[in-house]
Structure 1
Amino acid sequence: MQIMKVDPRALKENPNRMRQLKSSPQADALMLATIKAVGIVQPPVVAPEPDGGNGYIIDAGHRRVRLAIAAGLDEIEILVVDAANDNGAMRSMVENSVREALNPVDQWRGIERLVALGWTEEAIAVALALPVRQIRKLRLLANVLPAMLEQMAKGDMPSEQQLRTIAAASLEDQKEVWKAQKPKKGDTASWWAIANGLSKTRMYAKDASFGDDLSQAYGIAWVEDLFAPADEDSRYTTDVEAFLGAQQEWMTSNLPKKGAIVELNSWGQPQLPAKADRVYGKPGKGDLTAMYLDRDGKVQSFHFRMPEVKKPKGNAGSPDGVQGDEVIEVVSKPRPDVTQKGQDMIGDFRTDALHEALGRAPIEDDMLMALLVIAFAGLNVRVDTGAGGNVFGSARFKRHVVPLLDENGKVDIDMDRLRIAARSVLIDVLSCRRNASNSGVAARIAGDAIGADAFLPNMGTEGFLSCLSRQALEASAKETAVPPRQKVKETRAALVDHFKEERFVHGSALFAPATEELAELLKAGATPDEDADEASLGMDEDGADNDGSETGSVDDENEPASSGLGTGEDADDVVDDEHSTDDHYGIAAE
């Protein structure tokens, strides 16, 4: 080690220097004034060039050298040291760290350089007097998109929680979110919005009731959260469906003899069985246990009590004169074959297939008109009386009526135009989506009638199969040559690969409604007094008007042009009725 004087312009910068962030103009101006006044107080540290070079490479003091040149100094003192085995990496790291806290990005780059030179995380932590956990946290920056690192290197850093979320996301997801949230030049990044766009629901191992067997069966891979406190189990997974499926299966297997699995209501509270009372104190001998999953995916339980069954007086009700106690059986609900998300997907699949079938499939005219009537019996269709109220969607349906009118506003039936209009109305009205547009069983009947099952897409995809329970997934596998695997994830992957070349439609997605659904519709359609209903519409029991004329036999120019559409082949059969019920009813889809 020796001190010597050299021209600062002859010194070479170290390309691997620790601090790569430029200092502020204010700090540079202050140091420049100091150098001009008293010179350089502490000599820069340099080392001979490797491989026998004649020059010197700066180990520490790049800024001092640069400002000495700016001050016009011809010579400065330097401290020459022997070249280190790591090319001065640790020396530069320590020197910069004790002077001023490094930007985390520069600090991470230095750590990565030391690791590449063979330093362990523990050794780096000892040398820098930092916790090992802090070193590991900084190394998470290796998972951050380079464009984000550049923004962070400018001093625009996210919070620790936001950084954790960003580092846990894939580079592809980070790239998409950064593309949408990239700040303008000179602005700071909206790290909250970036982290929010990359956040995924986490289910923690500490909340899991199941063990390693179900974890492996459902293909759950735990990830360590390095930002969590060191004294707690911070493992988590973002595979929410698999986590909840394993929890549900564990509950089913560990349900007490007198127990039930209950669901949450819209307020996140467990839904008690009918007439049941929750027990808040010590449970009695006849009380039952309810188990449920809360909104965090944790298994919770409580006790409830069913009302006592009143015994009839006397000995009636039993052949031997002994009235036995009635056993209340509470049936637990296993995990449904298809999740709520899967049901939503089925609703979308059905609606798209139904609309495609209505637009393309061959439909006879009589069937088309029948479907039009059925469509307006859907759950998403309202008929408002003339006494008041809003008619939703009427403007939407008027566009289908216009092609059926001539230039004078008269009904001019052209069967081709009528067919197109009828199909368009059906497409607007009929829906299987699980929202306000759901037509209910009416859409299912219509889809089954026109063969819309043939238009359903291939459901053998990762997105849909992940919505199936383990039992439903294995049942689907039995219908193919794919044997069930030990892990649910492996079975699903095998089915996805199998159905790349074939089309798979889950049985629950088919249009044909169940018997009980049809029975409910027929029950709702039955009227206690058919004669009264016909009279209220101005018809007798034969379907004729009470004044003796048949419905639809008179054309009234004073009626609105859209007051009615007929179903006959000739224009004469499609007329407005002076007794038309459209004076009393407006039709629209919600």
Structure 2
Amino acid sequence: MHLISIDPRALQENPNKARRSKSSAQADAVLLASIKAVGIVQPPVVSAAPDGGNGFVIDAGHRRVAQAIEAELPEIFVLVDDADHADGAIRSVVENIVREPLNPVDQWRAIERLVALGWTEESIALALALAVRQIRKLRLLANILPAMLDQMARGDMPNEQQLRTIAAASQEEQAEVWKKYKPKKQDPQTPWWDIARAMTKTRMLAKDASFGDELAAAYGIVWQDDLFAPADQDGRYTTDVEAFLGAQQEWLSDNLPKRGAVIEVNDWGQPKLPGKASQVYGKPGKGDNTGWYINPRDGSVQSVAYRLPEMKKKAAAGDNDADAAQETMEAPKARPDVSQKGLDMVGDLRTDALHQALARAPIEDDTLMALLILGFAGTNVTIASGSSDNPYGHANGRKHAARLIGEDGKLHFDRDTLQQVARSLLVDVMSCRRNRSDSGLSARIAGDAIGADAFLPNIATEEFLACLSRGALEAAAEASGVPVRIKVKDTRAALVEHFAEGSFIHPASTIAPAAEEVSAWAARFAPTGSDDDGSVAETTGDVDGDVPEEAADGVETADEATEDGEEHEAAGFREAAE
């Protein structure tokens, strides 16, 4: 064979060519674009015309010659085959059947090599007649771990979705996951599904973001491009879920429409409507409200229409006339400064500090006796009398009392033992926890008397501060001299750092109750009279202990107690009435 330069228009088409069906217009366009960009990479093979004719006949490369003519190339290089013309027939078949296209891995490596030689993505796309987007896809996949690429080059390829997930992960993540899931000799098939699942990260899409670039920058959100997203969609995303949700929440607070309220969602991502409200499934009416919330799954801002119950009329005290009634309507509740979990933590912290103070703080004898009385006045204390088999009797009280009994079965103790038993009993009785053991206000009055607030720990922790609303957190930061940050998590971190060596006590966690709260409590349970021997009569009966006629069935008194959350005290009232 020898190489010559010739006008492609002078070449004759082989009447016995293997490819008789017409190639697709798309394939011809790709070849034409490639020839225009880089010329003919592999010269066509020609041979002398049969029967001693003039010119050359094409053995291999009919499409290359045709597209060179279409590109208006004046000359092209061809290889002239001097062998027997019979070889051209087999060569034409081999040319079209045996040749195999590059596998995707080789394409990735070839593109990376072109980039290293100074080719731009646009020029590569032009030369290969591919879309720039496709070149960028291939370049992204070229960042896959070399060990995975070797496995893919053997024909063991993941599907496109799995490939997208793997390519989006860092080399360190890929190496760690590949080490765990790479195929074993006994099972050479690669578990691509497990590999992709291990690298999956929660994505928040830019198309679901209601906030703009300004808030995105304020929350440090950097968008990444999903090169596999449809061309007509915004393919940007972020894996910083907390920042995305924070920006959405701030946008929602600033753009809340009239008659709109921010509502929470339940564990399944469904909106929680205000109490007694009913959802409106059709077109909202003029008096309906709209609840706005953030879908925890994709971070999008969504809304739900709801209708509050009909306005209720509340009669004025002592007047049954409907004209004198007041109209009231339930309004959506705003988020409290401290969440329910935060209040539970406050109850635990108060109780621990109270118990430490009862066990270690200096307590005068008279004060100790007063504390004992307060302890047994707690809402969590019940007494089993001799005439009642009450299952809520205080067993620990009997355990402590046994320490004061001597061998002769009589009271026998010294002063130190008495103080220890009294302290232990108060520790068992008094509680500020938000459950059945809560002693109510009496425990907080006792804690204030002995300075239990001094035993509270530093609660500037991520766990507790996360329970505060944004407003409460920023108020705490300003009161502590800590600058408020743009992002809520940064404000929390600043508070934690500020009090790393100190102690932060949130006002909602202090044990000492407000003076007016104590006065109201004392007035509510103040005695109505006393017996001759100085014993105080119950508010539910007269001096002789008889039950008044209006409370003979115990209902009124029990309802009053239950209304304040004192269920056990109400049960005691019912038992006394019976």
TM-score (norm 1): 0.49
Report the structure number with the largest CA radius of gyration.
2
CA distance in 2 between counterparts of 1:542 and 1:527 reads: 14
Q: Establish whether residue 412 from structure 1 lines up as the match of residue 415 from structure 2.
A: no
**Bigger relative contact order, structure 1 or 2 (CA pairs below 8 A, ≥6 apart):** 1
Paired residue type of 1:445: I
Q: Match for residue 258 of structure 2?
A: 257
CA RMSD of aligned residues (A): 6.6
Paired residue type of 1:338: V
What SS does the aligned partner of 2:291 have? strand
Change (3 A) 1:521 1:256: farther
Q: Match for residue 496 of structure 1?
A: 496
Contact 1:228 1:234 survives alignment (8 Å):
no
Contact 1:405 1:412 survives alignment (8 Å):
yes
Change (3 A) 1:387 1:444: same
Contact 2:288 2:305 survives alignment (8 Å):
no
Contact 1:461 1:496 survives alignment (8 Å):
yes
Deviation at 1:428, TM superposition (A): 3.0
Question: 1:447-483 CA distances to partner (integer Å, 9 max, x unpaired)?
Answer: 2222111122223344444443333333233334443
Contact 1:534 1:540 survives alignment (8 Å):
no
Query: Where in structure 2 are there 5+ consecutive unaligned residues?
Result: 1-100, 126-133, 147-160, 181-192, 316-322, 546-571
Deviation at 1:419, TM superposition (A): 1.9
CA distance in 1 between counterparts of 2:313 and 2:430 reads: 49
Deviation at 1:272, TM superposition (A): 4.7
Question: 1:379-427 CA distances to partner (integer Å, 9 max, x unpaired)?
Answer: 5444456544534772x55543332222234322322122222222333
Deviation at 1:509, TM superposition (A): 1.4
Q: Match for residue 184 of structure 2?
A: none
Q: Match for residue 403 of structure 2?
A: 403
Change (3 A) 1:482 1:214: same
CA distance in 1 between counterparts of 2:262 and 2:520 reads: 27
CA distance in 1 between counterparts of 2:538 and 2:335 reads: 49
Contact 2:265 2:272 survives alignment (8 Å):
yes
CA distance in 2 between counterparts of 1:371 and 1:196 reads: 60
Change (3 A) 1:250 1:354: farther
Question: 1:62-121 CA distances to partner (integer Å, 9 max, x unpaired)?
Answer: xxxxxxxxxxxxxxxxxxxxxxxxxxxxxxxxxxxx9x999xxxxxxx9xx99xx9999x
TM-score (norm 2): 0.50
Q: Establish whether residue 348 from structure 1 lines up as the match of residue 362 from structure 2.
A: no
Question: 1:225-257 CA distances to partner (integer Å, 9 max, x unpaired)?
Answer: 9899777768455765x6666555444433333
Deviation at 1:362, TM superposition (A): 1.3
- Written as runs of structure 1 = structure 2, the 5 A alignment for 1:262-281 is 262-263=263-264, 270=271, 272-273=273-274, 276-281=277-282
Deviation at 1:354, TM superposition (A): 2.1
Query: Where in structure 1 are there 5+ consecutive unaligned residues?
Result: 1-97, 103-109, 143-159, 176-180, 182-191, 313-322, 544-580, 586-590
What SS does the aligned partner of 1:425 have? helix
2:305 to 279, 302, 307: 302
Q: Match for residue 338 of structure 1?
A: 338
Paired residue type of 1:258: R
CA distance in 1 between counterparts of 2:261 and 2:269 reads: 18
What SS does the aligned partner of 2:460 have? coil
Q: Match for residue 564 of structure 1?
A: none
CA distance in 1 between counterparts of 2:536 and 2:263 reads: 46
Contact 1:261 1:333 survives alignment (8 Å):
no
Deviation at 1:508, TM superposition (A): 1.5
Identity %: 48
Q: Match for residue 424 of structure 2?
A: 424
CA distance in 2 between counterparts of 1:393 and 1:238 reads: 52
What SS does the aligned partner of 1:368 have? helix
Paired residue type of 1:370: A
CA distance in 2 between counterparts of 1:513 and 1:284 reads: 45
CA distance in 2 between counterparts of 1:384 and 1:118 reads: 92
CA distance in 2 between counterparts of 1:340 and 1:168 reads: 38
Deviation at 1:521, TM superposition (A): 4.6
Contact 1:290 1:304 survives alignment (8 Å):
no
CA distance in 1 between counterparts of 2:324 and 2:457 reads: 55
Paired residue type of 2:261: A
Number of aligned residues: 418
Paired residue type of 2:406: D
- Written as runs of structure 1 = structure 2, the 5 A alignment for 1:98-113 is none
Deviation at 1:530, TM superposition (A): 8.7
Q: Match for residue 374 of structure 2?
A: 374
Deviation at 1:499, TM superposition (A): 2.5
Change (3 A) 1:221 1:345: farther
Change (3 A) 1:399 1:164: farther
CA distance in 1 between counterparts of 2:463 and 2:275 reads: 36
CA distance in 1 between counterparts of 2:221 and 2:374 reads: 49
Q: Match for residue 29 of structure 1?
A: none
CA distance in 2 between counterparts of 1:368 and 1:196 reads: 62
What SS does the aligned partner of 1:290 have? strand
Q: Match for residue 456 of structure 2?
A: 456
Deviation at 1:294, TM superposition (A): 5.8
CA distance in 1 between counterparts of 2:456 and 2:377 reads: 23
What SS does the aligned partner of 1:307 have? coil
CA distance in 2 between counterparts of 1:334 and 1:221 reads: 28
- Written as runs of structure 1 = structure 2, the 5 A alignment for 1:470-485 is 470-485=470-485
Change (3 A) 1:541 1:232: same
